[in-house]
Amino acid sequence: MTDRPRPPRPQHVMEVVERSQLSPSLVRLVVGGPGFSTFPTPPSIDAYVKIVFAKPELGLEPPYDLAHLRETLPREDIPVTRTYTVREVDETAGTLTLDFVVHGDEGLAAPWARDAQPGDPIVFMGPGGTYSPDPTADWHLLAGDLSALPAVGAALEALPADARGYAFLVVDEDGDRIDLTAPAGVEIVWAVGSEGGAATDLLATTMQSRTWPDGRVHVFAHGERESIKRVRALLKEREVPRDQISISGYWAYGRNEDRFQSEKREPVGKID
Ligand SMILES: Cc1cc2nc3c(=O)[nH]c(=O)nc-3n(C[C@H](O)[C@H](O)[C@H](O)COP(=O)(O)OP(=O)(O)OC[C@H]3O[C@@H](n4cnc5c(N)ncnc54)[C@H](O)[C@@H]3O)c2cc1C
């Protein structure tokens, strides 16, 4: 059998339609345009896209021939990707909504989103994703930091009206506690003081501030990698079966996404 190269993942080329400031740390971009017609229906509630960033000074035209660029460009000039949740798809308007955590001047995606203007191009691959709330679960446990807030917000809206459970959310400051729509039986518990991801115990500690109901739970827990490792330990302690859990690091404190993704293959990057 020959090793065939993987076919290139399709890229969707759209543009920024609208930018708004959701909270001190969150910027919302609505993106759309003719490129929306190539975007497939997302497979799940936690659907995400991989935004491709190419150095503007190279003058590359999207969609990019990434395989060719990887072979021909110096390493530092190869376009890189950043992962973002699709908060909402509006089929009628032909738009997607993405919410970006703005975390200072570091990084590519966050400063780009902070400064984005209507008409700016955006190129991404996807959507991927695997989690949608299990309608047969007895209760739901959602947990995360600001990076997971778009997915948690979408999950809360997708829950049946009679769903029960908790959404535990950690944020840096009071103003980041944005309004969310949730079933009456799902309590949203905010904790302020995540210290830009440095407070790794806060999420797991906050999750223990409420009594967990009996019955079969469906878990969605994502955010800063070390804080998610604490959550994983807590779920093991509470003997929640692995097949009822969606869990992963969405980013890692002190690492950019390129390093974070490559560390997934090393012991430090594993959350079993
Ligand atoms: C499936 C999935 C879905 C995701 N969905 C979203 C989403 O909807 N919204 C969102 O904002 N993020 C989301 N993320 C996380 C996002 O991909 C990372 O935060 C990414 O590193 C941001 O890229 P950047 O270019 O801004 O910073 P990078 O260049 O990757 O990193 C630069 C520096 O900023 C730090 N940093 C990165 N992210 C944060 C943060 N959130 N808070 C504080 N410091 C940070 C890094 O540790 C590093 O020191 C998601 C990740 C995954 C895997």
Residue with CA closest to ligand 1 atom 19: 251
The Å distance, Cα 266 to ligand 1 centre, comes to 19
The Å distance, Cα 33 to ligand 1 centre, comes to 25
> Residues with Cβ within 6 A of ligand 1?
48, 82-85, 99-101, 103, 106-110, 146-147, 150, 196-197, 250-257
Span 185-196, average pLDDT: 96
Residue with CA closest to ligand 1 atom 49: 254
Which residue has tokens 């609208």? Answer: 18
Phi-psi region of 104 (alpha: psi -120 to 50; beta: other; left: phi over 0): left
Instruction: Provide the token pair at 98.
Output: 């993405």
Amino acid at 193: G
Amino acid at 55: K
Site to probe by mutation for ligand 1, drawn from 23, 106, 147 as the one with most ligand atoms within 8 Å of Cβ, is 147
Q: Single out the residue of 140, 143, 136 nearest to residue 165, CA to CA.
A: 140
- Spatial separation of the C-alpha atoms in residues 201 and 199, rounded to whole Å: 6
Instruction: Provide the token pair at 198.
Output: 């440095």
Distances (CA, A) of 272 to 141, 225, 246, 258, 263: 18, 12, 11, 21, 14
Q: Are 196 and 105 in contact (CB under 8 A)?
A: no
Taking only the tens place, the pLDDT of each residue in 59-112 is 999 999 999 999 999 999 999 999 999 999 999 999 999 999 999 899 999 999
Q: Are 96 and 89 in contact (CB under 8 A)?
A: yes
The Å distance, Cα 185 to ligand 1 centre, comes to 31
Taking only the tens place, the pLDDT of each residue in 7-39 is 778 999 999 999 999 999 999 999 999 999 999
Residue with CA closest to ligand 1 atom 27: 107
Cite the DSSP H helix spans in 116-256: 149-158, 202-207, 225-237
